[in-house]
A and B are shown apart, each in its own frame.
Chain A
Amino acid sequence: MSTESNPWATASDDTGAAESTASNPWGGAASTQNSDAMSMSASGTPVEQTDFSLLHPFQDVWIPLDSWIETGVSWVVTNFRPFFTAVKAPVDATLTAVDSTFNAAPPLLVIALFGLIAWQLSGRRLAIGSVVGLITLGAIGAWQESMTTLALVVTSVLFCIVLGIPTGIAMARSDRAAKVIRPILDIMQTTPAFVYLVPIVMLFGIGNVPGVIVTIIFAVAPVIRLTNLGIRQVPSDLIEAANSFGADKKQMLFKVQLPLAMPTIMAGVNQTLMLGLSMVVIASMISVGGLGLMVLRGIGRLDIGLATIGGIGIVILAVILDRMTQSLGQDARQRGTRHWYETGPIGLLLAFKK
């Protein structure tokens, strides 16, 4: 694959090279900054110290939280670099694979595939909508960026599912786990994304891979929460019935709880996907490519055309992906058939075979 067809490959190569030459570019910078801060707090504060007055009690900072955090993060950066590189690796590998697949595949093939998947999952209407939407994306000149964004979102959602569903199951099984995890989720959902962009950059660098990690942090909460909720909402008489027939824990989970919680879990996946898409623009600030970058550039240059194209692209992707995952939450019977394989292209194929 040439570098031109895949700009992101070079970007990740760059980061790799940077890592190998200067083993810790961020660590170095942070530690100098940090020593400055330390000297400030050590020498500067006593000089500035005026008499404590009850009228202005907060003139001086009591707790130097900012410098603590700085010290803490830079300590983590210097000492846990291998750990974060290790965390990055699977994300990097998945993203590269997904991204190169989407970008290398001929657009018409991608459009056809999306159309078929949409038809299978939902129906002809969504299939036609998807095809028209994707053609529009290409027509307005956002194809390459859309595929990059799609790859980012798909990778993020994949990791959200892989991390989120087991976490949700753990929460549902143990009240203690739920008690510990719930506030963490609250923090992840309420902390403005801008706040953790900085430490993420310090820990993981910039580029698409940290972008995926930020997106995971931002978007994983709904799938965890709704997995937990879905499992807890399984009617207790069904749990009792399964128990009375001698179900062990694994059978209970896979034969009763997960199938019954599936619509709720799918609603969580859907929400995660939507959050992931909305994170795309914010993540572009740490040099993540795709539609978000178009929007960011548009804002920076006051280029309303470019920003609009990026925005429209995100909306089109969002609508297509939303409808597709929503229909995942329905079972075949809600759509009026016995089995999922009786409709759509596969149904057609099977009918021909007969």
Chain B
Amino acid sequence: MVPSASGNETNIKLPFSFIFVSMIALMASQILLLFQGDFLIVGQFRVPGIWSAAHLFILGWALMIAMGAMYQLVPVAFLTPIWNEKFGFIQFGVTAIGTFAFAHFLFHDPQNALIPGIITLIGILMFLFQMFMTLRKQAKPNILTLYVGTALVCLLLTIGLGITMLYSMKSGAAADQYFAIFKSHLLLGTAGWFTMLIFGFSYKMVPMFSLSHGYSMKPSKFVYPFYAGGLLVAIISFFIDSNIALTVGLLLQLIGFSIFIYHISIILKKRVKKKLDRSFTFALIAILSGGLIHLAAFITAVFGVFHKAVGPLLMMYLFFWIAFSIIGYLYKIVPFLWWTAKYSKEIGKKDVPALKDMVNDRASTPVFACLVIGIIGVALSLFIGSEALFISGQLIFTIACFLLCIAIAKVVTK
């Protein structure tokens, strides 16, 4: 028997703060991108507006939302309270101020973006410190700890490589390794940090939202070495400039991801809940998309055209795998947070709503449909060089993001 209540729950204001600020960053990044079409269609990515939008999207939205979700999920998934909540609120303030200031300076005054960049960096390092201190306290580390712990290490390495790149640009040191460092930075930031994190938490959330029982966790022990090994081999390939090593690295990642998909399908076969929520189904579709993108990456490497395909593949990876997973799970996480804040003291005293009453799950279908149409429109516009198509696609995507923000904001009115 275990004590009645877990007592691990985080102060709900902490994850909520991250999630709400992240939605502002999402809207800001997409509106900003809307006006960058003339640069994007001619392949000019290194301009202030795009730097600013990209950092707002990755750091302001995806990273902030991942931080907020971790503040909520780590205590319940690892049965360990957050090491220091007060430190968490300070970390939130530092990261939010740093990220928005960084995006502002990248846009208006890139030469002076270093200080806000350092503030953002401090915020991320504070988060990493918080999480390492929390996971250190876990009584019985498990396979999920390995995934989430590796994701955090990848985030740390991503930051370390980012700083190395800045230093290299300023001092000229390691100039011949600059592109290898840049590629490793991108790989670890996406396939390292986000993918490992989504893998880890999917193992918790998929059974929870599908009410699955009696499934084996054995395949997860094979996913990890293949995927992590693939990351390592791919990074080595960047530094030794070997296409063969890169192909092997991408193959190992593909095998790891495929086992993950197979494992999730095994878990879902054991589910009690026959009709899955739509938003959760989109998170599952995102898993399949991730697998297909890994397959495409491997095939392009085999035919020696990976370097040409990597841009669109990375974009699809960011949206169809990472962003869709986050959005799919967000439809479950936010109602949970608000329900906890508003109704946890009412339960047992009077009728309280269920989580599905807190958010319009059906309305998630047009949101996801518009997101997909928008992304395809933007990708196509970049391919054929049509500014009109870019504006249309980006506008549809921005409207979908706005609808998502509305759906999330409406939860707090329930």
- Does B bind A? no
Q: Using CB atoms and an 8 Å cutoff, list the residues of chain B in contact with chain A.
A: none
Q: Using CB atoms and an 8 Å cutoff, list the residues of chain A in contact with chain B.
A: none
